[in-house]
Amino acid sequence: MAKGYWVSVYPVISDPERLAVYDGLARLAVQAAGGRSLSLLPSDGGRVVAHEAGIPERVVLIEFDSFEQAVAAYESEAYQKALAALPDGFRRDFRIIEGLG
């Protein structure tokens, strides 16, 4: 069975304090749903080399055991509560993708 992944890119973070509230709630929701954080670059202190557009923005990569599990985690009550905590005017590119197998 192919794994599922959440991929989020944050082009602008205008309210880091409120984003921290979301992060705490989202982390709990993801863990409860069986997800594993693989990357929170660059805010986790990890290194990044940006090519093409050259923007070293925050990238979050979370792995689930299946695509269906990743979708269910997003739709869960716990994660919807986390989404409600995102700052007003917040922007990110978020997608759920299926692994290659």
pLDDT in tens, 9-47: 888 888 888 888 999 999 999 999 999 999 877 666 677
53 lies in some domain? no
67 lies in some domain? yes
Q: For residues 10 and 87, is the Cβ–Cβ distance under 8 A?
A: no
Buried/exposed 69-88: b ≥16 CB within 10 Å, e otherwise: bbeebbeeeebeebeebbee
Which residue range is the domain that position 90 belongs to? 4-45+59-98
25 lies in some domain? yes
In the chain, the number of structural domains is 1
51 lies in some domain? no
Name every residue whose Cβ is closer than 8 Å to that of residue 92 and which is 6 or more positions away in sequence: 8, 9, 10, 11
Maximum mean pLDDT: which of 38-47, 62-71, 89-98 = 62-71
Tell me what percent of the residues of the chain surpass a pLDDT of 90: 56
Residue 43: the pLDDT is 62
| Residue type (1 letter), 14 | S
Instruction: Give kind and range of the element (H or E) at residue 30.
Output: helix 16-32
Residue 15: the pLDDT is 85
pLDDT band at 64 (very low <50, low <70, confident <90, very high): very high
Which CATH number is 12's domain given?
Answer: 3.30.70.100
